[in-house]
Structure 1
Amino acid sequence: MMRRRGVTWLLVLLTLAVAIAEDNGKPALWIKGTTVTLQCSGSGKWTWKKDGKAINDSTSDLIINKYTDQDNGLYTCSDDKDYYIYTNLKVCEGCVELDVTLAMGIVFGDVLITLGVILMVYLCAKRKAAPASAPPQRAPRRQPNTAQPSDSTYQELNPETIAKDVYSDVKRK
């Protein structure tokens, strides 16, 4: 058990040593509000250029306050080697950086709400379309050729007064 812990610590220390050794002067960029900081790590006298024109700054950090679209371009920091940083940035005061997990949570929540609305609409439509507790009664069918009881409301047709026009009677074939 103790030997295992020692091996684990040794691996952690080796990983840290490799990570520190990997920092070989690669440039970095930071944005805070409208301030942009370009950095070339290392020691010595640095020369900064923007789009090939020299900038009067000899430190390893180039700080640009109130960064605008005119500040976009190719920056070069030189010591023994040239390092290039190309910027095409949009910065604003009070900007909020959107976290990927927050964005995914918003999308997931929106999908869940939409599915909930769809389910509610489906259930309401199904309830309205469902038959009542007892199906409606159908009217009984009339029996063919049955004599209707005589009713004083209706009079019999007089064959003498029936019109003899073309469409006044039904001709069966």
Structure 2
Amino acid sequence: MDVHVVLVVFLMFAGTVKAEGGVTFWGNMVKLTCPGRGMFYKDNVKVNVSRPGEYEFDYKGKVTYSCVYEMTDSNEQKHRVRYLFYVKAKTCENCFELDAVLFAVAIVGDLIFTSVIMIAIYKCTKKKNPAASNNAAPKAPGRSGGRPPPVPSVDYEPLNLNTRSHDTYSMVNRTG
């Protein structure tokens, strides 16, 4: 059971996908972010985007997009840079990403809440008056060695060794 819990937690953290340039998943929606303010292309066909450098689409299956933007180097020369996105993932309609900080806060909060409940239960079950514990009932006096009281009935007399059964499990075997 513990292995399953560790595996689920590991998969939650491994399931978050981030790449340089920005690829984000939320449910079935994919958001691609170009490192520069560029235009997106799918199969060398320009894709209309609402904001330059960002493209959102509904994920249907693996797909390749490219982002072309201009970059200026240290010599003030402009270069066209092509950034490729190969998107292949498993998505679902009702999935959501769990942030690691939120997950840690939930665990710490649960530990604190459990500790408070345990302390409250301990305080409530503790004896209210410590002097009451000193007035405990006295123990019965110890018996002086001697014979026990006489047996009141024949039903409680020791068994006769001659009439006792000698079956396999009717005897106690002493090994020492």
TM-score scaled by structure 1? 0.40
Larger Rg: 1
TM-score by length of 2: 0.39
